[in-house]
Every structure is written in structure tokens, then in C-alpha cells.
Amino acid sequence: MATKGEQFAGLSVALVTPFTDDEVDYGLLGEQIEFQVAAGTHCLCPAGTTGESPTLSHDEHERVIAFVCETANGRIKVMPGTGSNSTAEAISLTKFAEKVGADAALQVAPYYNKPTQRGFYEHYKALAEQTGLPQCIYNIPGRTGKNIEPETIARLAELENIDLVKEATGSLDQASAILSSTNLTVLSGDDSLTLPLLAVGAHGVVSVAGNIVPTDMLALLQAFESGNLEEAQRLHHKLFPLCRDMLGLATNPIPVKGAMKILGRDTGELRLPMTALTESEEASLAQTLADYGLRQHATA
């Protein structure tokens, strides 16, 4: 059986949204897109959690998606975050993304209102039937408050346009259940679990650390794909401290924006209620970056 969504295997990067004086900085966003294109990244995921979608206005959300699609211009796939806890809103945003040239849609599980499993099914079914893009189910119960059970995902896999799962439950058992019962392409939603998930059949990652070190994330994926497990393990252990800091120092995207500021690639500006790293946290992160071999910006 052919794997659905296999064209999205590999490295997808969950792009940050750069701000300057509380406005989206499209100049910096363009630079970040070019950085990923040059690295060979397979797909960009703008306007997701890492892109601070909860604090983007509706107009900003749409403009960021349109800008990334226009700038990518077919050189790299684009799978924007178009999810919502309102099905009608998710459908509207997904239709907009389709209109401006997105290749797929990343659909976070409806959050806060905690649907039943039937509610999850009907939500994604409506998206699959009322929009034309391949849909990636983004399951992250740590943020949304409720898990989409493997049995529900297996039912959804039978629908046209439900092609992918971004697996961020942290459970290898859940990933294994999905992989053994569906033909969906599963992407890791946690950088540090990429290699373990590849080992049970996943085919890529939606990466936060990829904002900083896309070439190393690609090298890990390629080493595993070529059967060089020793090299994949070496890269996993090299990346682990960086991946740990991206999620462990503070809530994503606080650390990755702090890292990009230290490296001179972002202003580091966040929108409330997200706040910057403390001085001690930033110093710890700077040390991790230095230990990794990343050169800090002179004015950071």
C-alpha cells in the first residue's frame, strides 16, 4: 500500500515569526525563508505554534502565509498552520492557504474546548471534505488538553486528503499504533524524538531546531535513510542538548527566538503573553550554542 503524504517526508521547519516593534518583520522572514531554501529543507511550516499564531491577528496570519508561499515560489513546499478550535475558522483559513499556493495544511487539534473523539473525527472530516489540500493532523495534547486517540486517527486515515500526522504526544506506543494501523506519513513533532520515531517507521520531522541547524537535521534524516545508524546516532547525541534547550528552558518559541537573537538572525522579540528568557537562561542557552560550535553575533 502506498504511503499517503510521502511527498512531505523529510525535514519541515516550523518557522518563527520575526517581530520588530511589535510588527511582523517581513524582511527578516524573507531572510529566514532563503536560509532554509539554501539549506535544502524540504518544507516550511509558517504560522504554527512556533510562529506565535495565537497572537497573530487574522489579517497577519493570512499575510504571513501568503508571503511565505509567494517567497517560496515553488522552490520549497509550504505547509502552514491553519488550525483552530473553531472548525469553521479552520476551514476558512485552510481555503485561504490553498488559494495562495500552499501545498498542505497543518491542523492542530482543536484546543481548549476538548472535543470528544467523535468531535475530533467530524472536525477533520469537514476539513478533508471542504478543502482540497492534504491535511496533517497535529496531535499535541500537552498544549491542546486532549489526545486524538490512535483509533480515531485510523478512521480519519480512510478519508481522502488526510495524509499526515505530526506526532507530538511523546509516546512511542501511540506512534507505533498509528504506523501499524494506517498508511499515513508520520512526522515527529519533537526534535529529540526524531531518531526513535524514525526507528518505528516515521518519515521525518517538523523541527524547531531546524530554524538554527537545518543541515544537521537533514544529515540525521539522510544517515538513517541510508542505513548508517551509527552516524544517525552520533548526530542525535550532538543535537540533543540543543533540542533539550529548545523545549526545556522555557515554552516554545521563547528559546528558539532567544537562540536566533544570539546568532544575529532574529530580533528575539516576542508578543505577550510570551516573555523573553531571563539573563541566566539566556547565558545557559548561549553556552549550549557555543558548545555546539555556533558562532554568536558580535552585538548579541
Residue 251 lies in a domain: no
Residues in the chain: 300
Residue 237 lies in a domain: no
Residue 258 lies in a domain: no
Amino acid present at 233: Q
Full-prediction pTM beyond 0.85? yes
Active site includes 257?
no
**Contacting residues for 103 by C-beta, under 8 A, at least 6 apart:** 8, 43, 77, 78, 79, 133, 134
Whether 200 contacts 179, CB under 8 Å = yes
The string of pLDDT tens digits covering residues 97-144 is 999 999 999 999 999 999 999 999 999 999 999 999 999 999 999 999
First to last CA, the chain: 51
Cα 248 to Cα 246: distance, rounded to the nearest angstrom: 6
Q: Quick one: DSSP state of residue 52?
A: T
For 164, the 3-state DSSP assignment is: strand
Residue 273 lies in a domain: no
What are 23's strand-pairing partners? 20
- Per-residue pLDDT at 146 exceeds 90: yes
73: left (phi over 0), alpha (psi -120 to 50) or beta: left
pLDDT bracket for residue 297 (50, 70, 90): confident
Residue 47 lies in a domain: yes
**Residue 264 phi/psi, 5° resolution?**
80, 25
Please report the pLDDT score of residue 2 as a whole number: 79
Which of 4, 77, 146, 166 is an active site residue? 166
Active site includes 121?
no
| H or E element that contains 136 | strand 135-139
- Per-residue pLDDT at 1 exceeds 80: no
Q: What is the CATH number of the domain that holds 61?
A: 3.20.20.70
The string of pLDDT tens digits covering residues 67-89 is 999 999 999 999 999 999 999 99
Residue 285 lies in a domain: no
- Per-residue pLDDT at 195 exceeds 90: yes
Which of 4, 138, 146, 261 is an active site residue? 138
Residue 160 lies in a domain: yes
Helices (H), strands (E): how many in the chain?
12, 10
Domain holding 123, by residue range, is 7-226
- Per-residue pLDDT at 291 exceeds 70: yes
For 188, the 3-state DSSP assignment is: strand
**Contacting residues for 53 by C-beta, under 8 A, at least 6 apart:** 47, 61, 81
Cα 170 to Cα 293: distance, rounded to the nearest angstrom: 28
Residue 286 lies in a domain: no
Please report the pLDDT score of residue 259 as a whole number: 98
Cα 45 to Cα 211: distance, rounded to the nearest angstrom: 11
Bigger pLDDT: 297 or 253?
A: 253
Which of 59, 113, 64 lies closest to 84 in space, CA to CA?
113
- Per-residue pLDDT at 300 exceeds 60: no
